[in-house]
Structures are given as structure tokens and as C-alpha cells.
Amino acid sequence: MQTLKLLSSFLKVNIQMSLAYRADTVVNILLNLMWLGWELLSLNIIFSNTTTLGGWGLGELIALLGVFRLVNTLMIALIWPNTEKFNQSIRDGSMDYTILQPVNSLFLVTFSRITIWRIWDLVLAIILIFVGINMAGNIVTPFSFLTFILLATSGGMIIYSLWIVLIAMTFWFTKFDNNVTILQALLDAGRYPSTVYPVWLRVIVTFIIPIAVATTIPLQALRGELSPNQILLFIGVSAASFWVATKVWKLGLKQYSGASS
């Protein structure tokens, strides 16, 4: 209950901050629509020369773009703004105030800043998924839809876990400011289906640095291509990623010496 109240307070503060810069919000939304137009144009150019890409048609690639945008919105709305604040707090010692609060420090670091207007991105992403699936003509069953939601959530958890590990490195390497850039570069591999990559790279983006589990895999579940064992495997990958990330975070907190040192 206390966590929900705190999250509600964070949302109110961030909404007030967004309302203070209405013009910026409108401009950002328009820019986002321009980028979406460019991405759709790029796909159209690709499919003007071929009918499939790695076994995926145009509609399926549009749906994948929607899933990619869902995950990317998580980064832009939560990860980017909070990374900058976290890195600064490590350098100036203000992380002390976060650690001393009677609330989980990772929760505070994650949700203190939220880019509220990015809700618009979520709407666009969901529209792309539905339009893409409709264009592809795939039959969506209640089971495939449920597994899609489950694996999309698991994929978001994997990206979040990777972020935790990368920012935790700042406890050891204070000047490690490229953590978000590294994560964004890794995430870009999920813009296209993992089937377009050679086998060795497909293994890397699926199991070693499981970006594909956040993008390609949920859509494969929606297409009904995954067996129950595969679904459980990918959920297990997500759970293992979060477990490792929390352990790294706790080790980092022990490493942190505070402003007094």
C-alpha cells in the first residue's frame, strides 16, 4: 500500500512537470509521429523489393515495430531520465538520501522521474501491433494473446534487468556515463526479427544478451509459433535476468561509500 501511494505521488509530480511545458510536449509528439512515418516508409522501401524478410511479411514487421516501440517507450519514459539522475547522485553523494529512505532504493531510482507524455507512444505501439496482425491475416486465439501479453511483460523485465546491471556498474566506475547508450545499441538489434541474423548472432540476442526475448519472441507467441516448453523457457530467462540484476544491485549498494568518504 505504501509503495502504491508513493508511485501515485511520483505520477502526480511528473504530470505537473509535464503540464508546465505543454508546448514541448506537443512538439515531442509531432516529432514522434514524424519518426514513425520514417520507420513505416523504410519498411515500405524494403518490401518494395521483396515479399518477406527472414520469413516475416510486411504486416508482421509492422506488428514487430509496435512491440519494439513498446519496449523502447519503457526506456524513454523511465530508463533515460532516471539514469541521468542516478549517475549524478553517485557523483555528488545525494544517493545517500535515497538509500536512507524506508522504501526499496531500486524502486525510488526507477520511478522518481517518469516522462508522462510518452503514454502517447504506448497508444501508437498498440495500434501498430493490431494493424500489423490484421494485415498479416494471422489468427489470434485467446491463448496466443495471453502468451503475447505474458512474454511482452517478461521482455520488458529483461530490458529493465539489463538497465539495472548497467547503472549498477556506476557504483564501481563512477564515470560510467554510457550505460544507456550501450543499452540502446543492444536494443536496436530487436528492431528486426531474430531470424534475419546468422545462427551465432541469433543465439546471442536470444540467450546471452536476450534482446530478442523482448521483441521477436512475444510476436512469435502471438503467431502461435511457440510450444508451452518454449514459453516457460523464455519466462524463466526473464526471471533469471531479474534475479541476477537484483543481486548485482545489492552488491553495488555495498560498494557505495556515500558522500562522507
What pLDDT shows up at residue 125? 86
List CB contacts of 175: < 8 A, sequence separation 6 or more.
Answer: none
What pLDDT shows up at residue 23? 67
What pLDDT shows up at residue 247? 93
Q: What are the grid coordinates assigned to 89, written together?
A: 547522485
What pLDDT shows up at residue 100? 79
What pLDDT shows up at residue 122? 83
What pLDDT shows up at residue 215? 82
Low-confidence ranges of the chain (pLDDT < 50): 261
Give which of 183, 88, 71 is closest to 122, Cα–Cα.
71
What pLDDT shows up at residue 112? 77
The C-alpha angle 39, 33, 84, rounded to 5 degrees, equals 90
Give which of 147, 184, 146, 141 is closest to 162, Cα–Cα.
184
Sign of CA dihedral 150, 78, 99, 90: positive
